[in-house]
Structure 1
Amino acid sequence: MGNLLYIIAVILVIFWLIGFLGFPDAVGGLIHILLVIAVIMVLLRLIRG
């Protein structure tokens, strides 16, 4: 289960980079929400160990 959360977090960060670099005005808000979710998931993974 932990590996799945890590993979999802990495995918969300990649989507954020694509949106941030490719479409900064169109989907900026959504991409930043995805980034926050990814960071939270990574932190939960580190805390749970």
Structure 2
Amino acid sequence: MNPSSFVGRWFRTGDRGYLDDDGYLWLVRSAVDEIDLPALTLRSLG
């Protein structure tokens, strides 16, 4: 992570999403199919 990872107060993940008219954030597509955490690995089902 470095300063280019941020756009204003938003963290740039590479995921795709949009804000609806009510201000809710909807994630449409993940940038990666796997997330590695210290204790486990999360994988997408799709």
Question: The TM-score by the shorter chain falls in which range?
Answer: under 0.3
Scaled by the length of structure 1, the TM-score of the pair is 0.21
More helix by share: 1
Bigger radius of gyration among the two:
2
Scaled by the length of structure 2, the TM-score of the pair is 0.22
